[in-house]
Structure 1
Amino acid sequence: MSKDYQKIVESAHALHGDHVLDALESSSHGLSSDEATKRLEQHGPNSLPAPEKEGLLKRFFKHFHDLLIYILIVAALVTALLGHWIDTGVILAVVVINAIIGFIQEGKAEQALASIRKMLSALAHVHRDGHWREIEAETLVPGDVVRLKSGDRVPADLRLINVTDLRIEESALTGESVPADKTTEAVEADAGVGDRHGMAYSGTLVAAGRGLGVVTATGASTQIGQINQMIGEVQTLATPLTRQMNEFGKVLSVVIVGLAFAMFLIGWLLHDFSVNELFLAAIGFAVAAIPEGLPAILTITLALGVQRMAIRNAITRRLNAVETLGSVTVICSDKTGTLTKNEMTVRHVVTRAARYDVSGTGYAPEGEISLDGHIAELSAHDDLHALVEVASVANDSHVARHEGIWTLTGEPTEGALCTLALKAGFCSDDYQRLANIPFESENKFMATLSETKQGQRRILLKGAPDRLLDRCQYQRSANGTTEPLDKAFWEMEIDALGAEGLRVLAAAARELESEHDDLKLTDLDKDMVFLGLIGIIDPPRPEAIAAIKACHQAGIRVKMITGDHAGTAMAIGREMGIGDGQHATTGAEIETATDEQLQALAHDNDIFARTSPEHKLRLVKALQARGEVVAMTGDGVNDAPALKRADVGVAMGIKGTEATKEAADIVLADDNFSSIEKAVEEGRTIYDNLKKAILFILPTNGAQGLVMLAAVVFGLVLPLTPVQILWVNMVVAVTLALALAFEPAEPEVMQRPPRDPAASIIDAGFLWRIAFVSLLIGGATLMVFQYEIAMGMPLDVARTMAVNTLVFGQLFYLFNSRFLRESALRLPLLFSNRAVWIAVSVLIVLQLLFVHAPFMQLWFGTATLELRHWLIPVGIGFVVFLVIETEKYLLRRWAVK
């Protein structure tokens, strides 16, 4: 394909249909089979390429690619060489379990691409060799002439050359609330996808009418193909927690290896340890210092969060997304179906006599028509009755209750009019339709000739206000008589409704003689009486308004990114508290902005209208470049690339496309923005609980490492063996640390600003607490061990005492860790988390087995203890609790000063 040819194809929407046919070397009669075969070889099949998939082994073994894991593997190898097979088995079991958990939880983003491929049409009606035939859509080529009818899925990108009342549902690509009217007219070259009225795009659905078009692009060259390519190319960023834990892992690895090497040298140069003893001591130190239980705790904590979020209608597809939600600073939301109900609703009815307000949202007839705050009954308002009559009778759609849900059959705009009639108590069953003029794109109106039960015949006309004003010479006056049309008044009212972001329809009618039984366009030019206007909107969800307010209180900015028109977007924004209500950045402005300019635009503005998939993706990248943690919501295929790129992609579960769901991290089961706000609250709680778990686990490892390091440096007998250290690490993590995952939310969790995504998970206060508790528990353990050895206690008994001192010190420290800074010495709070007491009970049982069960004594080298040997570790643990509470009290007082 030549470059000139490619340019013509790319600008097909801006060219006349005949010019496109000429450029494609085709005609209105289509191609021959021979020519189609040649072009199929040149352009390839009309399908989307399948992505390359990672093999199962590669996906599994990449979970071993971590410095801390490498250290554990080396430790396992050394213990195997030394013949300590139990130690080897326990260490390798920890490593393999960690990899299995990661492998199972890994997301499968390639399914998003498969979902897009399913959207493509399987068959197409094409004109070849002078005949219409149905062929496999995969064999379509540029230049083919294709026929469309209501219910068809568009099989390729088409330049329309003939249309009859053609309307196409393009919301998956454009975000438009209603089907787009199609014409054969050319538009500006820089027009967005939603404004290209002469094009039909692959994967969209024909809602009504018929059309004829020439194929301009197939396969990967189509609009949906370009989105598919964008999804494949988009890089998914690491979550804040992942980045923080990776950095922490690197630093910790260097520190552990350095200290282990230094400990080996000190023991070799200054003391008479054997090489085997030093190897075991170094391995014991590494095993003690590495928080091997942390990955399991992180995974379990996140998994519990997933369950709690599912109860709140947020289904999580990737574990890390749970925590990432808690650090979100910006939520970028699609409008249609997310912030709004995607159910057109009448808001206002304007007649010459009054302006009526209509309450309620969606297709359910729940709400009322009011005037100046009082219910307006049809029997008392003839002007309202006349307009509602047109809306209900000149209507080809209907709404009905099915399994408790009000659903629409037909056009969304007409569905809104049906609901208006139900709210007004109007019934059209007594009307008989004698003739009609269907809606056509060229006319933009619909008319019916209907007969009432009393035998009266009326022309009822509804449609675009400008078209009806041109056909009416009269209007219904405020007192119910007929008077000359006041066009200036109605144009002012149209502008007022449009300024509210409403889609405006007009209604007109006139009486006919009883013998008149047909309807022609010329009948609409005689004495039509203009009745009034109806303002319709896709209303915002009331609960979403409250959720946005809660997000603002939590320091989270909410931005609306939609394919809809700027006026509609601003109107919805004003109602929802998004933006200043006066300005919306358009896709055209995004298109011309440099990356640096777009960063400023993305930061300074909250409403973006007439956006394409590329624009949404650029906006997300621009916000991330400024250091924001971005959540992106959406339901259409056009949202999928941005959802994949965002730190958290949120898809709609009811009205969202499968491609969007597969690209997302979280799927909302109720399509409700308020569920995002609840999920953010859950995410913040999870992060708090992860911090508590880390603050609990790291001093545990610090205390054990300190015991081993001090023993070698001072030439003492090792107080713990590597396998005993692993026991302490795993049993404490699995029982005590896990209990912290069940901690309830802090009272002010949604009143504080988002945490800085660049900030370390371990700050100066954390480091102090880790060092302080490590010295406290580690020092106490070493003292107990040395004292028992000095008293002539057997080595296995002294080591068992040392293990118990570590365990009970950590058990009491658990109660300190439940509250990062607040006091734990409050009786009601001691029992606010039942999981803590269950964990404590389980730990005590496990520790009794560890000490007294013969098979545990064999595996771990423990010995039976007397009652006094149990009382010493318990007493030390209680002292640890009191000392740390005193430290917290002093820190709180110091912070106040």
Structure 2
Amino acid sequence: MPPPAPTDFHALSAAQVLSGLRATRAGLDDDEAARRLATHGPNRLPAPPRDSLLRRFAKHFQDILILILIGAAVITAMLHHWIDTGVILGVVVINAIIGFLQEGKAEAALAGIRKMLSASAQVRRQGKWRQIDAAELVPGDIVRLRSGDRVPTDLRLLEATNLRIEESALTGESVPSDKRIDPVAADAGIGDRACMAYSGTLVAAGRALGIVIATGASTEIGRINRLIAEVETLQTPLTRQMAQFGRQLSVLIVGLAALMLVVGIGLHGLPLGEVLLAAIGFAVAAIPEGLPAILTITLALGVQRMAQRQAITRRLTAVETLGSVTVICSDKTGTLTKNEMTARHVITRAGNYLVSGSGYAPQGDITLDGQFVELAEHAHLHALIEVIAVANDTHVAENAGQWCVTGEPTEGALRTLAHKAGFSSGQHTRHATIPFESANKFMATLASTPTGLRRILLKGAPDRLLDRCREELGADGQPVPLDRAWWEREIDRLSQEGLRVLAAAARRVDDAHVRLSENDLDHGMVFLGLIGIIDPPRPEAVQAIASCHAAGIRVKMITGDHAGTARAIGIEMGIGSAQSLKVVSGTELEAADDEQLRRIVGDCDIFARTSPEHKLRIVTALQANGEVVAMTGDGVNDAPALKRADVGVAMGIKGTEATKEAADIVLADDNFSSIERAVEEGRTIYDNLKKAILFILPTNGGQGFVMLATVVFGLTLPLTPVQILWVNMIIAITLALALAFEPAEPGIMRRPPRRPGTPILNAAFLWRLVLVSLLIGGATIAMFESELALGMPLDLARTVAVNTLVVAQAFYLFNARFLTTCSLRRDLLFTNRAAWLAVGVLLLLQLAFVYLPFMNAAFATTPLALRHWLAPLAIGLFIFLGMELEKRWQSSRQRT
């Protein structure tokens, strides 16, 4: 059923929600629940319709290059060259199988979301609590939540005690959200709806009672599910360019073949059979049947290299697309930052202590004015550390080489700070505790020190502690009147830097004090200081952003965090400067129309308090501006934008299954720097693809020119179609394949990204294609005609022509290894051993072609004398040196 019209339940009081849903706190009766279940349907996400396996497989034969391959297979079958037909069809089928296995990404993403839903729920029916299947929940049901539960559907909270819910998968916030029952503004974003609990999120602490307001497709996660299903996936730049190139090439080949028929029959009066054979030979020569296979192999090798750099590729063409990325939109939490809260500052009246290290690993130092601090020598710091370590129920421990927190992330940061200071709370004896509650935002503990002193230790929100203190620990170590204005200035300063600020206070009590109440916190508490906590940037991500900027790639942060935190992290990451960096909130995005949004995304690099729709609109607006967009994320709220982006990049460690399934690339280390390395790999792959195209097309063009010129000028065919197939096959499996192994060219990450829509072959490369085709084709015809003029047999002349083609292409390979750089540089000549190995294999195959009797019989060739090798070698060397001069000429033209 279609979802009902949304209601702003978060803006209504609990009584209004109960009334609107015709429910009571006693719960629904069974008959009413059954009626509502029939009306609204089960509380599960609908499975999307899927194409049949046959239809999904057949779609992979509709690409123009695949159709060209099939045409080549038909031509070879017409020539009864069954081995070549089998090889070409094998390439077609392998390509289809690879695409088929990668198909169904969106369906898998939806399945990943469905796995997030809770299997059961505690519901009140007919006045009694029951455990039921979560799929049976209906609007109006009363549901109970406890710590550790996964929220089974969207709830409006009616009661909440110390409730904190982990919502990072929906909001991107790095710490659990405090919940309460008071209504909020109607236009509040998901992260600000404190009176709501959403399906698929996790109860980190506390307990609650809520009323079901939406189920299944009507829930917030169901809405994201629909967004993923509705998002249109764009073609990659390579797919678009190759489709256009394939169409143009096919039209050109068919047109020239038809021209050959007209010229051969109409101008020279040649027999139809002979001209038809020449036209087929031209088509076989001109069609680069090895090109799709080379593209696939090049991409596959890139996938392997990227896997070694912690980037797992789920779709082959995504590798190349990374090389053309102009904008990277990144989630903050867990991608640019570690998603591990870390204490950075400790402020007492003795000074501002700086804390190094990041994450939960207890590695780092505490310094004051640049000097390392010994805890025993700093009474102020010791007093504060004692509070945050003893009034703390969280533990950090190493697990499989990674430090993990058990409990609250913020308390984990405080526990790690205590470890860095060398403080152990093991000998303290706890007598009583007031646990943290969202209403009061503090935790207090009554404990005895190892020396027997009994103290009340209090930590929590600074404003709440300042309200309860009349004194502070002065610079001389004695209590003095509280200077609240000074502390509030320090709190503002830390907050503006994007830090979360906590405070500590304590007081001495007598040994008879055995219980603890809130009244004990209202008298005699001494304010000790502040702790500034942040989810720190990854150091390697800072360097990676700088590399992206050097490569002409803009990095934009899209996060669910507050604007101040996002801006502070953005400045620290180097996304922008403090003077120029602008932050746009989700509310501003909501108010902007599509045209305004296109201007906003062009000017702004930080987006805060964003929803899944906002992220999707940002990506779409950037694409409308002509950008090639990579989007990173780890939460289910990122999945729609990841699917829409040209390249979706998910986090492999902390990412949700839905996000991984919607992405094209999964980072095994959750590290932004891996994206930068993947971009470098993508650029290398695109270069190698261009080199392969720039190598294959002139060689095919040379062969095609031989056949075309022969018919136009009424000459004897220098090559038979079978001989052309031989040349195409051995060149494809040796020389062209070697270009897939080329390493990155120098300075590849210091050049700007190629502009979207730039053709694979620009004017300079088209000129090179024509020039090389004429040189190779002309040399082949010249060698063939010269041998005939010397009275040599036709088979020998054709064998010499084939050798000329093969040797010239072997020399040209070393020109094609570098697009603009000189190929004679000693430091670059041997960087690709595969090229030299390919030439060696090619030589062995060509020797077999010339000298083995069964090859002579199959291809109508004959053994050659030594002089027949010298001329092709000289021609190959001439072509190599000539193209190096052309390369230098092109470079000088570009500089001027």
TM-score by structure 1 length? 0.97
Deviates more, 1:579-588 or 1:804-813: 579-588
Structure 1 Cα separation of the partners of residues 865 and 500 of structure 2: 84
Which one-letter code corresponds to 2:862 in the other structure? A
Deviates more, 1:782-791 or 1:652-661: 782-791
Conserved 8 A contact 1:94-1:292: no
Tell me the equivalent position of 1:174: 171
Which one-letter code corresponds to 2:754 in the other structure? R
2:756 alignment partner, SS class: coil
Stretches of 4+ aligned residues off by more than 6 angstroms? none
Aligned pair partner of 1:237 in 231, 234, 256: 234
Structure 1 Cα separation of the partners of residues 680 and 12 of structure 2: 51
Q: What displacement does 1:672 show? A: 0.8
2:734 alignment partner, SS class: helix
2:105 alignment partner, SS class: coil
Gapped regions of structure 2 (runs ≥ 5): none
Tell me the equivalent position of 2:818: 819
Q: What displacement does 1:240 show? A: 1.1
Which one-letter code corresponds to 2:143 in the other structure? V
User: What pairs up with 1:199-210 in 2 under 5 angstroms?
Assistant: 199-210=196-207
Tell me the equivalent position of 2:344: 347
Q: What displacement does 1:358 show? A: 1.0
Which one-letter code corresponds to 1:263 in the other structure? M
Structure 2 Cα separation of the partners of residues 776 and 403 of structure 1: 62
Tell me the equivalent position of 1:381: 378
For the pair 1:322 / 2:319, whether they are aligned, the reply is yes
Aligned pair partner of 2:144 in 122, 142, 147: 147
Structure 1 Cα separation of the partners of residues 103 and 776 of structure 2: 37
Which one-letter code corresponds to 1:27 in the other structure? T
2:750 alignment partner, SS class: coil
Structure 1's 461 and 894: CA in aligned 2 closer, same or farther, altered over 3 A? closer
Tell me the equivalent position of 2:223: 226
Write the deviation string for residues 492-540 of structure 1: whole angstroms up to 9, x where unpaired. Answer: 1111111111111111111111011011111111111111111111011
Deviates more, 1:205-214 or 1:107-116: 107-116
Write the deviation string for residues 209-233 of structure 1: whole angstroms up to 9, x where unpaired. Answer: 1111011111111111111111111
Tell me the equivalent position of 2:503: 506
Deviates more, 1:271-280 or 1:242-251: 271-280
Gapped regions of structure 1 (runs ≥ 5): none
1:341 alignment partner, SS class: coil
Structure 1 Cα separation of the partners of residues 683 and 815 of structure 2: 20
1:231 alignment partner, SS class: helix
Structure 1's 101 and 355: CA in aligned 2 closer, same or farther, altered over 3 A? closer
Conserved 8 A contact 1:352-1:476: yes
Which one-letter code corresponds to 2:597 in the other structure? L
For the pair 1:610 / 2:609, whether they are aligned, the reply is yes
Q: What displacement does 1:870 show? A: 2.8
Conserved 8 A contact 1:68-1:290: no
Q: What displacement does 1:872 show? A: 2.9
Q: What displacement does 1:90 show? A: 5.4
Conserved 8 A contact 1:107-1:317: no
Tell me the equivalent position of 1:663: 662
Tell me the equivalent position of 1:848: 847
For the pair 1:121 / 2:118, whether they are aligned, the reply is yes
Tell me the equivalent position of 2:619: 620
Structure 2 Cα separation of the partners of residues 628 and 365 of structure 1: 42
1:244 alignment partner, SS class: helix
For the pair 1:766 / 2:765, whether they are aligned, the reply is yes
Structure 2 Cα separation of the partners of residues 233 and 690 of structure 1: 33
Aligned pair partner of 1:364 in 350, 356, 361: 361
Which one-letter code corresponds to 1:664 in the other structure? A
Write the deviation string for residues 283-313 of structure 1: whole angstroms up to 9, x where unpaired. Answer: 2211211111111111111111111111111
Structure 2 Cα separation of the partners of residues 311 and 86 of structure 1: 36
Q: What displacement does 1:94 show? A: 4.8
Tell me the equivalent position of 1:53: 50
User: What pairs up with 1:530-549 in 2 under 5 angstroms?
Assistant: 530-549=527-546
Which one-letter code corresponds to 1:391 in the other structure? I
Q: What displacement does 1:841 show? A: 0.6
1:660 alignment partner, SS class: helix
Deviates more, 1:339-348 or 1:9-18: 9-18
Structure 1's 796 and 452: CA in aligned 2 closer, same or farther, altered over 3 A? same
Tell me the equivalent position of 1:739: 738
Q: What displacement does 1:264 show? A: 1.1
Tell me the equivalent position of 1:798: 797
Structure 2 Cα separation of the partners of residues 2 and 857 of structure 1: 72
Tell me the equivalent position of 1:569: 566
Conserved 8 A contact 1:390-1:508: yes
Deviates more, 1:524-533 or 1:273-282: 273-282
Which one-letter code corresponds to 1:55 in the other structure? S
Deviates more, 1:585-594 or 1:81-90: 81-90
User: What pairs up with 1:181-330 in 2 under 5 angstroms?
Assistant: 181-330=178-327
Structure 1 Cα separation of the partners of residues 547 and 192 of structure 2: 35
1:143 alignment partner, SS class: coil
Conserved 8 A contact 1:90-1:723: no
Structure 1's 807 and 500: CA in aligned 2 closer, same or farther, altered over 3 A? same
Structure 1's 151 and 91: CA in aligned 2 closer, same or farther, altered over 3 A? closer
Tell me the equivalent position of 1:556: 553
Structure 2 Cα separation of the partners of residues 101 and 179 of structure 1: 41
Deviates more, 1:442-451 or 1:101-110: 101-110
Deviates more, 1:788-797 or 1:606-615: 788-797
Conserved 8 A contact 2:199-2:221: yes
User: What pairs up with 1:424-503 in 2 under 5 angstroms?
Assistant: 424-503=421-500
2:164 alignment partner, SS class: strand
Structure 1 Cα separation of the partners of residues 160 and 788 of structure 2: 96
Structure 1's 23 and 263: CA in aligned 2 closer, same or farther, altered over 3 A? same
How many pairs does the alignment contain? 894
Tell me the equivalent position of 1:861: 860
Structure 1's 446 and 816: CA in aligned 2 closer, same or farther, altered over 3 A? same
Q: What displacement does 1:597 show? A: 0.4
Structure 2 Cα separation of the partners of residues 315 and 116 of structure 1: 21
Conserved 8 A contact 1:107-1:318: no
Structure 2 Cα separation of the partners of residues 369 and 550 of structure 1: 31
For the pair 1:873 / 2:872, whether they are aligned, the reply is yes
Structure 1 Cα separation of the partners of residues 96 and 863 of structure 2: 36
For the pair 1:160 / 2:157, whether they are aligned, the reply is yes
Tell me the equivalent position of 1:755: 754
For the pair 1:884 / 2:883, whether they are aligned, the reply is yes
Structure 2 Cα separation of the partners of residues 192 and 43 of structure 1: 26
User: What pairs up with 1:574-613 in 2 under 5 angstroms?
Assistant: 574-581=571-578, 583-613=582-612
Structure 2 Cα separation of the partners of residues 662 and 278 of structure 1: 54
Tell me the equivalent position of 2:63: 66
Tell me the equivalent position of 1:404: 401
Conserved 8 A contact 1:579-1:607: no
Structure 1 Cα separation of the partners of residues 213 and 892 of structure 2: 73
1:260 alignment partner, SS class: helix
1:120 alignment partner, SS class: coil
Q: What displacement does 1:622 show? A: 0.5
Tell me the equivalent position of 2:634: 635
1:598 alignment partner, SS class: helix
1:21 alignment partner, SS class: helix
Conserved 8 A contact 1:167-1:206: yes
Q: What displacement does 1:106 show? A: 4.9
For the pair 1:521 / 2:521, whether they are aligned, the reply is no
Q: What displacement does 1:204 show? A: 0.4
Structure 1's 291 and 208: CA in aligned 2 closer, same or farther, altered over 3 A? same
Q: What displacement does 1:855 show? A: 4.1
Structure 2 Cα separation of the partners of residues 408 and 141 of structure 1: 36
Structure 1's 68 and 647: CA in aligned 2 closer, same or farther, altered over 3 A? closer
CA RMSD of aligned residues (A): 1.9
1:29 alignment partner, SS class: coil
Deviates more, 1:862-871 or 1:456-465: 862-871
Structure 1's 90 and 182: CA in aligned 2 closer, same or farther, altered over 3 A? closer
1:750 alignment partner, SS class: helix
Structure 2 Cα separation of the partners of residues 410 and 345 of structure 1: 15
Conserved 8 A contact 2:65-2:243: no
Which one-letter code corresponds to 1:851 in the other structure? V
Conserved 8 A contact 2:389-2:414: yes
